[in-house]
Chain A
Amino acid sequence: MSAGGGGGGAHAAIPQNNIIAFGVVGGLVGIYAAYFLVDMVGPYMSFLGALGAICGIVWGAAAVRRVANYGLGTGVPSIGMLALGIGIIAATFGLAVGGIAGPVVALVFAALIGLVVGILANKVLNMGIPIMVQSMTEIAAAGAITIVGLSTSMIGTFMFFDEVVNGVVVTQGVASGVMTTGYIAVIFIAGGLAILHPYNANLGPDEKQDRTLACAFEKGAIAMIIAGIVATITPFASGSLTILIGVAIWYISFSGFYKRVKRDAFKVTGTGLLPSKEELE
């Protein structure tokens, strides 16, 4: 009908390879730009990490859309939780051993575990979804990018350990800034929902790729706003710019989503409020 691209199989207006490139390149560029610019320009540049996370979220939601279209049998949320579960294992490992290459190591190892789980799902559990292996790899890697990106925007760095000079903490690391404080749980749920919810909310015979992805941008913006709220109370990142840009992205993407809902719906009518007790009598 329109440029939206239909559901069913792997039909899409935007080819998946472009979305993979968008997720990997956009995600890593955002995370590294946040890391270097926070040092060079100022803590308010930490918002770039959340932009990287949005790239990861959109990529993850597009991959969920493709694989869940085949019917997982368990509902879409399970695959989003799996993505963040693998992502957290790989992100802890990658950031702890990788140093400056941490996000890349996390991405590679998340993809590795995702690949293994995808092969197990098809060969051992006999799920028989042809794109399971590729999609699981993508979803796990997107989960890792989301976690690292949101962590970076919360504390301004992806280094795992605190940098201590003469007994004074000059930079807070992910271990003490995000994991010990428990903000990782916020990332887990906000990031996981952003990856699993777009397809879960839009699925059905009239599901369109661009509507689902507009919803993914919108959910990513909510995760960005939450990361900004956390950043306002952490010492080495500044949250106001993150919140402002997050609200702007949310407004634009929600308008885009609502426009596409109106385009795809047969008819949109207002029902008004429920009648009050007096009116019913």
Chain B
Amino acid sequence: MIDIVGIIAADFLNIILITLGGILIALGVHLVPVGGAPAAMAQATGVGTGTVQLAAGAGLTGLVTAGFMMNVTDSLGLILASGTVGAMIMISVTMLVGQWMYVYGVGCPPASAKVKYDPITKDRQDLYVSQGTEGHGIPTASFISGVIGAGLGGLGGSLIYFSLLSIENGLPEADFIGIASIFAIGLFFVNAVIPSYNIGGTIEGFHDPKFKRFPKAVLASFVATFLAAIMGVVAIGGM
């Protein structure tokens, strides 16, 4: 029988780090400009797909880049930086190509309907919003917000992955890496969906009024990730 209390006591730091990673992912999702189905028809600002797809795309790239860095070094800082930058590159490419579609394909200027002036470039927004739409394309503020959000998501994902791989256990290395990575992916999906319920599916970035709701998602994600982290640490630590 597994000594559950002993494992939790020995790996308590890892449980805390996994929970922190989950909170970072939940916070990061609030910053990514998610437009959902309306944005796919250029009727809302943001990338035209759901939160889960965007967050998972960026976050899983972060996991891959973090795992690649883990091949060559044990340094926590380098691994986290690699995961963060990988996720940032992924979301930047997604938003850039999406932007080309909106500008050259649909033929609409990037504009936000939530603010009158772009908080970063100070450009006027409301004149360029087509009638009957909630904005279109990805304005500068949303783009920068998305890069920051994906960075937080990648940081959280690689922190979870690194913490899971720090747990002492008797598994062969290949099995251990497989279990830790699929576990990190499971946690990533849970923490991408919880904030997407909080923002109701669409958000433009940090300048969107919905961004102020993030403490609720952080609290929800804290509880859910903490519970899952205990189960993960017990399962992996008991092997």
Chain A residues near B (Cβ < 8 Å): 72-75, 77-79, 81-82, 84-90, 92-93, 96-97, 109, 112-113, 116-117, 120-121, 124-127, 160-161, 175-176, 179-182, 184-185, 188
Give 6 closest A-B pairs by Cβ, nearest first: A85-B189, A180-B178, A74-B201, A88-B186, A73-B200, A120-B220
A-B contact pairs, 22 of them (CB 8 A): A72-B197, A72-B201, A73-B197, A75-B36, A77-B52, A78-B52, A79-B193, A82-B190, A88-B182, A89-B186, A90-B231, A96-B239, A116-B223, A120-B194, A121-B194, A121-B197, A124-B220, A125-B216, A125-B220, A175-B179, A184-B182, A185-B182
Choose one: B50, B186, B219, B227; the contact of A85 (CB below 8 Å): B186
Q: Knowing that A74-B52, A86-B228, A97-B2 are A-B contacts, what are 11 other residue pairs whose CB atoms are under 8 Å apart, sorted by A's residue number?
A: A75-B37, A75-B201, A77-B50, A81-B192, A82-B190, A85-B187, A93-B231, A117-B194, A125-B194, A125-B197, A125-B217
A113 touches B227 (CB 8 A): yes
Closest A residue to B229 by beta carbon equals: A89
Shortest Cβ distance from A117 into B: residue:
B224
Are B183 and A89 in touch, CB under 8 angstroms? yes
Min distance, Cβ A178 to any Cβ of chain B, angstroms: 9
Q: Which residues of B contact A109 (CB under 8 A)?
A: 231
A96:B238 contact, CB within 8 angstroms = yes
Closest to A112 in B: B227
Contact (Cβ within 8 A) A74 B50:
yes
Q: How many whole Å from B147's CB to the nearest CB in chain A? A: 22
Determine the distance from Cα of A239 to Cα of B171 in the docked complex, in whole angstroms: 28
Q: For the complex, what is the distance from the CA of A87 to the CA of B190, rounded to whole Å? A: 10
Partner of A179, one of B37, B178, B190, B227: B178
Pick from B36, B185, B197, B227: contact of A188, CB below 8 A.
B185
Q: How many A-B contacts if CB must be within 8 Å?
A: 138
A176's nearest neighbour on chain B, judged by CB, is B175
- CB neighbours (8 Å) of B2 from chain A are 97
Please state if B37 and A89 are interface contacts (CB–CB under 8 Å).
no
The reply on B234 being an interface residue by CB < 8 A is yes
Chain B residues 182 to 235 lying within 8 A of chain A, measured CB to CB, are: 182-183, 185-190, 192-194, 196-198, 200-201, 216-217, 219-220, 223-224, 227-228, 231-232, 234-235
Within 8 A of A (CB), among B16-36: 36
| Chain A contact residues: helix, strand, loop or mixed | helix
A254 to B: closest C-beta gap in Å: 27
Query: Quick check: A88 and B185 within 8 Å, CB to CB?
Result: yes
Q: Who on chain B is nearest to A96 by CB?
A: B235
Range, interface on chain B: 35 or more
* Partner of B179 from A72, A113, A127, A179 at Cβ < 8 Å: A179
Beyond A73-B197, A74-B196, A96-B238, whether A89 also contacts B232 by CB under 8 A is: yes
Query: Cβ of B174 < 8 Å from any Cβ of A?
Result: yes
B51 within 8 A of A: yes
Q: Nearest B residue to A84 by beta-carbon distance? A: B189
Q: Which residues of B contact A175 (CB under 8 A)?
A: 171, 175, 178-179, 239
Any A CB within 8 A of the CB of B56: yes
Q: A78-B50, A85-B187, A89-B228 are in contact. Are A97 and B234 (CB under 8 A)?
A: yes
Q: Is B217's CB under 8 angstroms from A81's CB? A: no
A84 to B174 alpha-carbon distance, docked (Å): 23
Cα of A97 to Cα of B4 in the assembled complex, Å: 10
Q: Is A88 a contact partner of B183 (Cβ separation < 8 A)?
A: yes
Residues of chain A with a CB closer than 8 A to B172's CB: 176
- The answer to whether B196 and A116 touch across the interface, beta carbons within 8 angstroms, is no
Residues of the A chain whose Cβ atoms lie less than 8 Å from the Cβ of B236: 96
B171 touching A78, Cβ below 8 Å: no
Nearest-CB distance from A75 to chain B (Å)?
5
Q: Which residue of B lies closest to A95 (CB)?
A: B235
A179 partner residues in chain B, CB cutoff 8 A: 175, 178-179, 182
